[in-house]
Structure 1
């Protein structure tokens, strides 16, 4: 039968509407799990009460002189046991809710747990298994400490059960790797280092319909967390952004994470929390040209401005020229002191232009002056261990030593994004 008054595409859209509605309805049932997690919160409160009850009993027996060494050891192990179970509960509550119910808006929060940034069902299962092994270890240790009151039968079966937990956790961890590689991630994201789709998957027959939102492949790693909305509205943020000297305004979350063949997105996500700025530590982004180092540096700088920090951006050659001009005017010390007002300085393009001994000494003075006073964010075309090839004279090794101490280092590997665009344009 031929349909009139509409295209085949419109008919497919109409035909799929009930299926889509049903899918949304089924997906909405995930909220039925929310009360379960709040029930676990109540259970955590019970363990808090149990902890302090046990602690109070231990203190009373110690004060009254009734506590033997064995009793104290067993009581402390019992407290550790309670804490480990509470840790297991919080992991299930926060990680499970984030994975199976709804995202928790902690992006940019300085206290966000590192494991939450890449949580998924496989990671959660492995962490739960290892936590159970830890709890089992404490229980087994309690049995051996109180060995005089524990039967050999109980010791034997306690050891067998503990070994079964260890073997189960090892098997689960081993299986999670192949599952992740084959798209077995659950929840909101995965942690694969090779998110590229199989050959031919991006062909026309697999393309999304026009107007449909782009959906990430199941193996796509967790994206860089977005900046919270509130800091962007902070008074003075726009003035700091304009004064920073960024070549263009780029956002960290807009970085094309699929372009590099490999980079440590967890470290980048951690840098996005800006703890390194508060702690006055450095960060180094190293990789070939065109892999997005400047984008990431600008994105981190923009986020720092939005969070209330003053930032200055310049290339390494521009910083050397600025310091040389200050020295020629006899105010190098004053210039370095004035830079203390900026919690973050960004030094871009280290390695593209070699520096003579004089320029190397000036940049060393900048790095040495900033050491544990303020943060430097450096981008370069080679690993920090090879920065000495760029800086002439004895200042080079000393500069690198101070720069990388307590620094976060992100290695980016891949082809030039600009060359890829140029090649694509030529092919078209």
Structure 2
């Protein structure tokens, strides 16, 4: 028994959609055709709407993949920040940083201050916004980055890692200063961060003032060179202030006592 011409055309559309990798058309064709018939749209409008839905789905999938590949430890969005509780300097500079203009400019952002003041939240929030706007982002802690570099060197895959590291639009290196490094680790970190200096953006969070970076690297010349390279034309944000993480803990404890 032969198919009706209409059914044959639908089957052909399904096959073409599969070959061209257009899953939204394949999945929702009947629904789209029904809507178009009810509204009596012209062929051009129908085709444009089909392609628009496919593009929307593809953009959404790309955003999801960029966030997944960025390897964030948490999803901390800028919208979830208690801006009024951020340190004063962060409140002043956040509006500018939220434009993400520092990324195409290849400028670094250094968030420096005592623990619990929102450094990581701001950094991840900017990273997530960058992913949503089409930038390629990678999140890591500084200790993990040093270990990763050492592993790649041992496995003779360092050049591959360097090529990838250089090409990210934005790298977020969290927790500079929580752990000090041996000479090898310091040199490797300096080399890799230098690969991006002046060309690609890096956000660094640190709990130490620059005067104390010598405690991390234990080499005054390298420390001076690292600070000079990272801070050149960078946005420096003073994150010293009251710990709102501590404030949240106190509020939680009070609620437990009242319960």
TM-score, reference length from structure 2: 0.71
| Contact residue 312 and residue 346 of structure 1 kept, 8 A | yes
Larger of the two Rg values belongs to structure: 1
1:155-196 deviation per Cα after TM superposition (whole angstroms, max 9, x unaligned): xxxxxxxxxxxxxxxxxxxxxxxxxxxxxxxxxxxxxxxxxx
Equivalent of residue 78 in structure 2, options 221, 239, 252: 252
In the alignment of these two chains, the number of paired residues is 197
Match of residue 399 from structure 1 = 226
Q: How many angstroms apart in 1 are the aligned matches of 2:124 and 2:246?
A: 21
Q: How many angstroms apart in 2 are the aligned matches of 1:334 and 1:403?
A: 23
1:125-170 deviation per Cα after TM superposition (whole angstroms, max 9, x unaligned): xxxxxxxxxxxxxxxxxxxxxxxxxxxxxxxxxxxxxxxxxxxxxx
The CA deviation at 1:235 is 5.2
1:90-113 deviation per Cα after TM superposition (whole angstroms, max 9, x unaligned): xxxxxxxxxxxxxxxxxxxxxxxx
Match of residue 368 from structure 1 = 194
Q: How many angstroms apart in 1 are the aligned matches of 2:199 and 2:161?
A: 15
The CA deviation at 1:346 is 0.4
Determine which structure has greater relative contact order: mean sequence separation of CA pairs < 8 Å that are 6+ residues apart, divided by chain length.
2
Match of residue 249 from structure 2 = 422
- Structure 1 residue 269 and structure 2 residue 95: aligned? yes
| Contact residue 261 and residue 414 of structure 1 kept, 8 A | yes
| Contact residue 268 and residue 410 of structure 1 kept, 8 A | no
Q: How many angstroms apart in 1 are the aligned matches of 2:211 and 2:188?
A: 20
The CA deviation at 1:263 is 2.7
Q: How many angstroms apart in 1 are the aligned matches of 2:210 and 2:60?
A: 35
| Contact residue 234 and residue 308 of structure 1 kept, 8 A | no
SS in 2 for 1:291: coil
Match of residue 410 from structure 1 = 237
For 1:7-156, what aligned pairs fall within 5 Å after superposition? none
Q: How many angstroms apart in 2 are the aligned matches of 1:247 and 1:315?
A: 10
- Structure 1 residue 315 and structure 2 residue 141: aligned? yes
Q: How many angstroms apart in 1 are the aligned matches of 2:199 and 2:89?
A: 28
Structure 1 unaligned residues grouped into runs of 5+? 1-229
Q: CA RMSD in A?
A: 1.8
Structure 1 residues 408 and 385: alpha-carbon distance in aligned structure 2, compared to 1, 3 A threshold? farther
Q: How many angstroms apart in 2 are the aligned matches of 1:375 and 1:296?
A: 15
Q: How many angstroms apart in 1 are the aligned matches of 2:94 and 2:217?
A: 27
- Structure 1 residue 386 and structure 2 residue 212: aligned? yes
The CA deviation at 1:286 is 0.9
Match of residue 343 from structure 1 = 169
Structure 2 unaligned residues grouped into runs of 5+? 1-55
| Contact residue 309 and residue 343 of structure 1 kept, 8 A | yes
Structure 1 residues 342 and 409: alpha-carbon distance in aligned structure 2, compared to 1, 3 A threshold? same
For 1:236-251, what aligned pairs fall within 5 Å after superposition? 236-251=62-77
SS in 2 for 1:335: helix
SS in 2 for 1:355: coil
Equivalent of residue 326 in structure 1, options 152, 165, 184: 152
The CA deviation at 1:275 is 1.1
| Contact residue 280 and residue 372 of structure 1 kept, 8 A | yes
SS in 1 for 2:84: coil
The CA deviation at 1:392 is 2.1
SS in 2 for 1:390: helix
TM-score, reference length from structure 1: 0.44
| Contact residue 87 and residue 117 of structure 2 kept, 8 A | no
